[in-house]
């Protein structure tokens, strides 16, 4: 979340930044509640000081043999007033926290201003869009023909959006996960973790999923747990409520399944593997100092890109404008792959820098060389998500006879299988 003191001291800039995000936020109610709280605290402190003084007088009165009944009654009344003020303070603090949790992050200064995804600039491209001597098939036809997945049976078990991979399709999933973990741990220096697939409300709130996106979460109400929408949630919360004394950055990579209701995307891109309720993803997470935050964000994005280069897949990187930024992000790059059948770019990774926004919510701090305690900066990105990666692999490497050629880097992970063919 944002620091309320920063909001108060930079109200005009904050309002402008939130307006550039197309965010409707009641900053005035927040600051009024904050000022009211401060005034009540001052009044409560004055009453407490007065109560202490009278309490001291009671002792003197009793020692001198006088009656302290009137003074005791005054102390009692003051105590009642203090209790009422303390209750008002607690209610205001709850209101302030509620309002703060619903305010999105402020875009970094160098984020391009824009109103929607149409204003997102292309930062760079890699590779050439492949041309075919035949009409390329969509991935759902390729997968069905080669027996890679059975979406109908998956839907029979759990409903649409829950895919069932079979045979070489299941092996391909496993191969891609292992390949990406190996690259990120052995070449890019990330430490692998295998986190829980469920998180509590505090963890979800810490990374910004709650309360804003509650309707997108799969829940276990009786246990007050949430199925994770991304490994970002458990991995970021590894250090919640801690002060890090380790050298930063700390870099983690994790494979997890991900679960999302996609409540706001009904009927959108529902065919095949384009938009799912359950999918696999390899996630990259960094904890860093504010000074190295931008550099580490760039590096993390390049680490995700390297996976696509090794798989020889054409991609482009776009920078999200202010109006298209995710709720918690201060700056974000999307990496997109080309889908020949759909003739469009499809997102396979979002690499975001949150600055101190998540760290303040989850209370993740570090101690610098001068022994000063400050909030870390958090960065994460898909390294990468599998469904759309599989879409691009199948569609860009298909042959006229219906086979799919496998990238060379995957051969060792597929028991030296070089192509996927019909049985």
In this prediction, residue 21 carries a pLDDT of 96
Q: Residue ranges of the chain with pLDDT lower than 50?
A: none
Q: CA gyration radius for the chain?
A: 27
Helical (H) or strand (E) element with 404: strand 404-405
pLDDT at residue number 153: 96
Query: Would you state the pLDDT for residue 264?
Result: 58
pLDDT at 78: 94
Q: What is the DSSP letter of 407?
A: P
Is-cis flag, bond preceding 384, omega within 30? yes
Structural domains of the chain, with CATH: 4-101 (1.10.287.40), 117-420 (3.30.930.10)
What is the pLDDT, as a whole number, of residue 62?
78
**297-314: per-residue pLDDT in tens?**
999 999 999 999 999 999
Kindly report the backbone phi and psi dihedral angles of residue 378, in degrees, each rounded to the nearest multiple of 5, phi listed first.
Answer: -110, 145
- The per-residue pLDDT for 168 is 97
Q: Which two tokens stand for residue 291?
A: 């000074």
**pLDDT at residue 72 in the model:** 87
Question: Cα torsion at 165, 170, 173, 177 (round to 10°)?
Answer: 130
What was the pLDDT predicted at 48? 93
CA–CA separation, 195 vs 234, rounded Å? 6
Question: What's the sign of the alpha-carbon dihedral 12, 14, 20, 21?
Answer: negative
pTM of the entire structure? 0.92
């Amino acid at each position: 979340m944002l620091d309320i003191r920063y909001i108060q001291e930079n109200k005009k800039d904050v309002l402008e930044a939130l307006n550039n995000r197309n965010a409707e936020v009641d900053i005035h109610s927040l600051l009024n509640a904050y000022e009211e709280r401060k005034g009540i605290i001052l009044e409560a402190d004055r009453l407490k000081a007065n109560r202490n003084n009278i309490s001291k007088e009671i002792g003197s009165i009793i020692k001198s043999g006088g009656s302290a009944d009137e003074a005791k009654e005054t102390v009692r009344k003051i105590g009642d007033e203090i209790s009422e003020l303390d209750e008002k303070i607690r209610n205001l603090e709850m209101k302030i926290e509620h309002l703060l949790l619903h305010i999105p992050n402020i875009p970094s200064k160098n984020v391009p201003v824009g109103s929607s995804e149409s204003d997102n600039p292309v930062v760079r491209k890699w590779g050439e869009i492949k041309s075919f001597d035949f009409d390329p098939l969509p991935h759902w036809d390729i997968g069905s023909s080669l027996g890679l997945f059975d979406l109908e049976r998956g839907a029979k078990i759990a409903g649409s959006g829950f895919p069932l991979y079979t045979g070489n399709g299941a092996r391909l999933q496993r191969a891609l996960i292992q390949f990406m973990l190996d690259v990120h741990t052995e070449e890019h220096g990330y430490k692998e973790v295998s986190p829980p697939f469920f998180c509590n409300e505090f963890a979800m709130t810490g990374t910004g999923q709650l309360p804003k996106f509650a309707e997108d979460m799969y829940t276990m109400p009786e246990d007050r747990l949430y199925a994770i929408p991304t490994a970002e949630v458990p991995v970021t919360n590894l250090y919640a409520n801690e002060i890090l004394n380790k050298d930063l950055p700390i870099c983690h990579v994790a494979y997890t399944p991900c679960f999302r209701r996609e409540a706001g995307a009904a009927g959108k891109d529902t065919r095949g593997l384009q938009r799912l309720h359950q999918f696999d993803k390899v996630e990259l997470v960094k904890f860093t100092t504010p000074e190295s935050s931008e550099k580490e964000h760039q590096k993390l994005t390049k680490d995700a890109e390297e996976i696509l280069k090794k798989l020889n897949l054409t991609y482009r990187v776009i920078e999200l404008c202010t109006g298209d930024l995710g709720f918690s992000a201060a700056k974000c790059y999307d990496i997109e792959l080309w889908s020949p059948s759909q003739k469009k770019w499809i997102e396979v990774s979002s690499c975001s820098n949150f600055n101190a926004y998540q760290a303040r919510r989850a209370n993740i701090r570090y101690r610098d060389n001068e022994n000063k305690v400050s909030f870390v900066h958090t960065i994460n990105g898909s390294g990468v998500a599998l469904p759309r990666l599989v879409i691009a692999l199948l569609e860009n490497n298909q042959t006229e006879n219906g086979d799919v050629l496998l990238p060379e880097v995957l051969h060792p992970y597929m028991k030296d299988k070089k192509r996927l063919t019909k049985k």
